[in-house]
Structure 1
Amino acid sequence: MVTTISTYDSTLFQGAAWYYARYRSKYPQALFDLLTDLFKLDGQGRLLDLGCGAGLVGIPFHNRFAEVVGLDPDAEMLKEAQEQAAAVGATNIRWVHDRAESISEELGKFQLVTMGRSFHWMERELVLSKLENLVIDGGGIAILKTNDNAWESDHLWKQTAIAVVKRWLGERRRTGKGGEGEWKPLAVPHEEVLKQSSFSRLETYEIKSPQHWTIDSYIGYIYSTAFGLPSFFGENREKFEADLRASLLEVEPSGEFTEELPITALVAWKEK
């Protein structure tokens, strides 16, 4: 059987890395404690963080492993991750510029593989088939998500923010191809894909985490997303920011917003 891997779209997060490292909601310590308990992490094993981005999983989790490998196809994200890791003295992380679809046994064996807000961008069946030989018996996968999706939010201020984005970028939700692509929901949920793999024993865990935003930090968040890259706004960027600021102040004059984010971990163990 011949497997064809689609070409990686290098524009997917073009220009987002600086904002991603600073304005994406962080994973709470309670999540890392949960995974530590589930997989009995003792500082001796290895972690593979696929689609690691700016290191939002690998860096705060690095002290639970002997070595962490962070892999991502976006060179700007990896550069940001290296700088963030150096700033906190996380010296046991190796950064690899590559696609998840290209992983091989040359990377070695891993106790845990994490994917934070990244699995949906991958050719999931192919990646899982390759992970079968990389994850040790008793190890597994954790697909992590911070449910901060503004496009499906009940919060009036988030609905207002998306309305402003649409006012400047149009109704469709952009993603990749230099802003010409269109986001489409997954036809098959992660759970169904996992059940057809060697990682078929599943559990879903949820942790609530408070998240505080200012208007400035939320503008930064938008610029970190595939649907709102800075380049999409072009010469209208300052006008967009002014519009968003005024619109959000109408909703909340303090310009500060707090929400309780549900953080989910879809955990799958390798079947022996």
Structure 2
Amino acid sequence: MMKNHLQTNLDQYGTQAQAYLDSPVHAQGPDLVRARALVAEHLPAHGQALDVGCGAGHLSFALAPHFARVVALDPSAPMLGTVRRAALDRSLPHIETVQSSAESLPFPDASFDLVCSRYSAHHWTRLEPALRDMRRVLKPGGRLLLIDVQGEEDALVDTHLQAMELLRDRSHVRNRTVSQWRGLLAEAGFAEVEHEDWPVHIDFPSWVARMRTPASRVAMIRELQTEAPQEVQEALALEPDGSFTFTTGLFWAKAGLHWVKTS
């Protein structure tokens, strides 16, 4: 039976919640350290935060000590169950979970001091309305924290990266470039956009194992890598076993004076 993208996404991640909770790539990183520092510097303590597309909850866990309430939102019920159990294990009872999609946030206008998302937006098919709704639920002067894999500005390199991502994970949509993100955030009503990025080494065997990528598609990724031109191999730092390096980008923005109602 043919499935829509949301069902594909749920199928892919519903059975992999524990793997993502345990994944070193997701559980740690300089982006999480920087996220905590930005929140501590710019936002009052004991406010409210919303983590959109929370996955296994690593961003919620990292930021929770600063807030009185953190809402971890995701369309996947198994992911949210993992977040609830892990939050209790970490003595973070003020993390609550809500099952919903990014473009239809079930909250009143101006509800949160921070809206954030990490390693999720590249799965969203309706990114523009999702960003507008994230802007809607921010309080005046509230902040957006968005972390995701960056697309490559060089089209040749980007095509190879996107193909590798899609072959590995059928729920992948697109990694946006820095220039694309700046345009999207401005259109959604965000201002004063700051950007930082970091290289992230991806261990190929664990990368495909975490998603349970079928052997036939693993072979396709490896063929794509080995036949890639020199420019691509150098840009992605491709290694003999298929391991490579991508870039994680962090965007920190302020809610602008106006927002456009989500259609």
TM-score bin, normalised by smaller chain: 0.5 to 0.7
Aligned pair count reads: 221
Higher relative contact order (CA 8 A, sep 6+): 1
Amino acid at match of 2:214: F
What residue in structure 2 maps to residue 21 of structure 1?
21
Where does 1:1-272 land on structure 2 (aligned, <5 Å)?
Answer: 8-9=6-7, 10-25=10-25, 26-28=28-30, 30-42=33-45, 44-106=46-108, 109-122=111-124, 123-145=126-148, 173-176=167-170, 186=176, 189-206=180-197, 219-224=205-210, 229-230=211-212, 232-233=214-215, 263-272=248-257
Q: Identify if the C-alpha distance between structure 1 residues 34 and 261 changes in structure 2 by more than 3 Å, giving closer, same or farther.
A: farther
Q: C-alpha separation between the residues in 1 aligned to 2:99 and 2:135?
A: 21
Q: C-alpha separation between the residues in 2 aligned to 1:262 and 1:175?
A: 18
Q: C-alpha separation between the residues in 2 aligned to 1:50 and 1:175?
A: 20
Contact kept? 1:128, 1:197, Cα under 8 Å: yes
Q: C-alpha separation between the residues in 2 aligned to 1:262 and 1:184?
A: 14
Q: SS in structure 2 opposite 1:19?
A: helix
The root-mean-square deviation of aligned C-alpha atoms, in Å, is 3.9
Q: Identify if the C-alpha distance between structure 1 residues 66 and 204 changes in structure 2 by more than 3 Å, giving closer, same or farther.
A: same
Gapped runs of 5+ residues in structure 2? 220-238, 258-263
Q: CA deviation at 1:146?
A: 6.0
| 1:201-223 deviations in Å (ceiling 9; x for gaps) | 311024678x7x9x7xx644433
Q: Between the two proteins, what is the percent identity of the paired residues?
A: 20
Q: C-alpha separation between the residues in 1 aligned to 2:60 and 2:109?
A: 16
Amino acid at match of 2:212: P
Q: C-alpha separation between the residues in 1 aligned to 2:174 and 2:248?
A: 22
| 1:116-175 deviations in Å (ceiling 9; x for gaps) | 01122221221122223310111121111367x9xxxx9xxxxxxx9xxx8xxxx97243
- TM-score, normalised with respect to structure 1: 0.66
Contact kept? 1:27, 1:57, Cα under 8 Å: no
